[in-house]
Structure 1
Amino acid sequence: MTETNRDRQTGGPGQPATRDGHPTEEFLRRPLGSTGLPVTPICVGGGPLGSMPDLFGYDVSAERGTETALAALTGPFNFLDTAAGYSDGESERRIGAALARIGGVPEGFVLATKVDRNFATGDFSGDQVRRSAEESLARLGLDHLPLVYLHDPENISFAAGMAPGGPVETLLELQREGIVGQLGVAGGPVALMAEYLRTGHFSALITHNRWTLVDRSACDLLDEAVSLGVGVVNGAPFGSGILAKGPAHFTKYAYRQADPEVLRRIRAMEEACALHGVPLAAAALQFSLRDPRITSTIVGVSRPERIAETARLATWDIPEELWETLAPLTAPKDFWLW
């Protein structure tokens, strides 16, 4: 087999990227939209390291979570995403413990979190947003949050989100006070996310489960975000796990049971990948990485070794003909989340 340019860059199929024959220490950083924050094309997702067994199906101990956070903070990616509501703040606590071990946030590293509603009462008021941000600072051991997202605003109406004294107005106050740097919005429904972007208050967007090998709901949203100068971060490229583990081992997409037609198409994708010697997970991840509209892609990790594994998947050699085979296997629009 003839060595390709991609092989020379990556050390061959399935091998880490190299520079002058040695593994790269970091992936190329790009500004996240108008935030000006330079980030790597992969963002480590902090949800699993906090232990979320109801979503992911397994527990993660406090020590393993902290060690995973340490690996994220000192690895090849400079971007880590968490949220106040992940495991009732446990993700942030473990990241905070890792930060304490290494003496704070490494230079040039971007740590992002999200303000959440009160999960017990449903309160998503401005006062709750302020409490959420302040509690995040305490758990992380920081006095400033460089990037904060309004998290899952679909749990209230757009009018409530934008009301005087409400969540968005409070985020803007926190920004003026210097507690928060850049503002983003992170959620599901694409039409609602577009409404928030059009306010002009947000410079970053997280969309999840809506731009994958299976679901293309977010296509117009990505276009609009780019046109507005909003940095796009794509979450859940594995569709909550099925596009990494395969349907023989996991049958949920976006945390719910996948339709038989969706499962059939994912099995066909997995078979096509196998014919080319490509893991389904590599194709799922690189589907997002190769889109020029997406600045960074979130990959949740629960073990330190997952950092290196993610780097290998990101640099796996994938022939163009495989993309041509996968394209028509996308689920029909009726199955998309929107």
Structure 2
Amino acid sequence: MTEPTADLALRRFGQTELLVTPLCLGCAPLASMPEVFYPVPEEQAFAVLRSFFDSPLNFLDTAAAYGDGESERRIGVVLRERGGLPAGAVLATKADRDLRTGDFSGEQTQRSIERSLRLLGVEQLDVVYLHDPEHAATTFEDLLAPSGAVDVLHRYKQSGVIGAVGLAGGPVDLMLRYVETGAFDALITHNRFTLLNRAAAPLIEQAWQRGMAVVNAAPYGGGILAKGPDASGKYAYREAAPEYVARVRRIDAICQEHHVPIAAAALQFSLRDPRITSTIVGMTQPERIAQTLDLARHPIPEQLWAQLDAAGFDTEDV
């Protein structure tokens, strides 16, 4: 990795000793999941990962569920090429339920972690999140019970295999319940803190007040804030509501007045919030690394932010 520039200065990951760049490579699309994203050939995914490791970025994020292990496997191939995780790089993955049965027991969590270690070809994982508990057949109470999923994650942390235990999911009210247990070092929220939707604002505040690392994923809402409504009509993995499309047109017009790409405004909306440790952006072409860094550095006049706020945003969960 090259040395981070000033605008990519490393940030402490909550109360851990980990230091991460404010931009994080999201590796979900690298699994090639056409039902959610679009096909990504293996060699293309490898090229993205090589570009990442040659960039100033040091933080990448994946999950056991992405392609049912395919994202982790592809990362593992490139890590082995490089002789392991490069010094200073921070690798996060997520423990997942059984995708067929919904089981998220302690035993399933152990199986998920052990498979991740094997596929990635590593002996330790910097961060492991409890992933999408809202989709599990296992209840909130059972996930937090002795020998349950969260307990197993902490046992791995105590043994030194895991550096930090995180929570990653969607519904704000449910995520708040988990955060309030005090069981987690980090939080990922997605699609709920963007120029269009700020439903996660109270969740982010609560996590930040507790000293957790806060990671904001999908600052483009899945594409509409990166490409505009004419190129992408989706928000949070489904067709955007008409009022969202209309609002994106207003946002895009405001950005054009200031000669600012809408993608730069969408990305920097997340990057400029001091409560957010890092922002996850999925990338599927190697050149996207440099392009995203350019968006992160694009000059934006202060008055643009007030105009974007005035354009309106949703506070209802998606």
TM-score between the two structures when normalised by the length of structure 1: 0.90
Q: Find the aligned partners of 1:74 and 1:128 in 2 and give their Cα distance.
A: 35
AA partner of residue 314 (structure 1): A
Q: Which residue of 2 aligns with 1:211?
A: 193
Q: Which residue of 1 aligns with 2:100?
A: 120
In the alignment, is the contact (CA less than 8 A) between 1:35 and 1:204 conserved in 2? no
Residue segments in structure 1 that go unaligned for 5+ positions in a row: 1-18
Report the aligned-residue RMSD: 1.6
Q: Deviations over 1:104-131 (max 9, x none)?
A: 1111110000001111121111111100
Q: Which residue of 1 aligns with 2:144?
A: 162
Q: Which residue of 2 aligns with 1:14?
A: none
Q: Which residue of 1 aligns with 2:271?
A: 289
Q: Measure how far apart 1:160 and its partner are.
A: 2.4
Q: Measure how far apart 1:26 and its partner are.
A: 8.0
Q: Which residue of 1 aligns with 2:29?
A: 48
Q: Measure how far apart 1:25 and its partner are.
A: 8.9
Residue in structure 2 matching 1:35, options 16, 41, 52: 16
Q: Find the aligned partners of 1:67 and 1:97 in 2 and give their Cα distance.
A: 11
Q: Which residue of 2 aligns with 1:95?
A: 75
Q: Secondary structure of 1:163's match?
A: coil
Q: Measure how far apart 1:331 and its partner are.
A: 2.9
In the alignment, is the contact (CA less than 8 A) between 2:199 and 2:314 conserved in 1? no
Count of residue pairs the alignment pairs up: 314
In the alignment, is the contact (CA less than 8 A) between 1:73 and 1:80 conserved in 2? no
The answer to whether 1:278 aligns with 2:260 is: yes
Q: Find the aligned partners of 2:98 and 2:54 in 1 and give their Cα distance.
A: 32
TM-score between the two structures when normalised by the length of structure 2: 0.95
AA partner of residue 19 (structure 2): P
Aligned residue runs from structure 1 range 14-33, under 5 A? 24=5, 27-33=8-14
In the alignment, is the contact (CA less than 8 A) between 1:215 and 1:330 conserved in 2? no
Q: Find the aligned partners of 1:71 and 1:97 in 2 and give their Cα distance.
A: 14
Q: Measured at CA, do residues 300 and 170 of structure 1 come closer, stay the same or move farther in structure 2, by a change above 3 Å?
A: same
The answer to whether 1:144 aligns with 2:124 is: yes
Q: Deviations over 1:175-197 (max 9, x none)?
A: 22222121000001112212212
Aligned residue runs from structure 1 range 304-319, under 5 A? 304-319=286-301
Q: Find the aligned partners of 1:200 and 1:80 in 2 and give their Cα distance.
A: 25
Q: Measure how far apart 1:332 and its partner are.
A: 3.7
The answer to whether 1:106 aligns with 2:86 is: yes
Q: Secondary structure of 1:267's match?
A: helix
Q: Find the aligned partners of 2:312 and 2:71 in 1 and give their Cα distance.
A: 33
Q: Secondary structure of 2:85's match?
A: coil
In the alignment, is the contact (CA less than 8 A) between 1:116 and 1:129 conserved in 2? yes
In the alignment, is the contact (CA less than 8 A) between 1:25 and 1:76 conserved in 2? no
Q: Find the aligned partners of 1:137 and 1:73 in 2 and give their Cα distance.
A: 19
Q: Which residue of 2 aligns with 1:84?
A: 64
Q: Which residue of 1 aligns with 2:211?
A: 229
Q: Deviations over 1:95-153 (max 9, x none)?
A: 11111111111111100000011111211111111000000001100011111000001
Quick check: 248-257 or 168-177, which moved more?
Answer: 168-177
Residue segments in structure 2 that go unaligned for 5+ positions in a row: none
Q: Secondary structure of 2:9's match?
A: coil
Q: Find the aligned partners of 1:98 and 1:332 in 2 and give their Cα distance.
A: 40
AA partner of residue 68 (structure 1): V
Q: Percent identity?
A: 53
Q: Which residue of 2 aligns with 1:325?
A: 307
Q: Secondary structure of 1:53's match?
A: coil
AA partner of residue 225 (structure 2): L
The answer to whether 1:189 aligns with 2:166 is: no
In the alignment, is the contact (CA less than 8 A) between 1:174 and 1:180 conserved in 2? yes
Q: Measure how far apart 1:29 and its partner are.
A: 0.2
The answer to whether 1:260 aligns with 2:242 is: yes
Q: Find the aligned partners of 1:266 and 1:31 in 2 and give their Cα distance.
A: 33
Q: Find the aligned partners of 2:162 and 2:9 in 1 and give their Cα distance.
A: 26
Q: Measured at CA, do residues 25 and 89 of structure 1 come closer, stay the same or move farther in structure 2, by a change above 3 Å?
A: farther
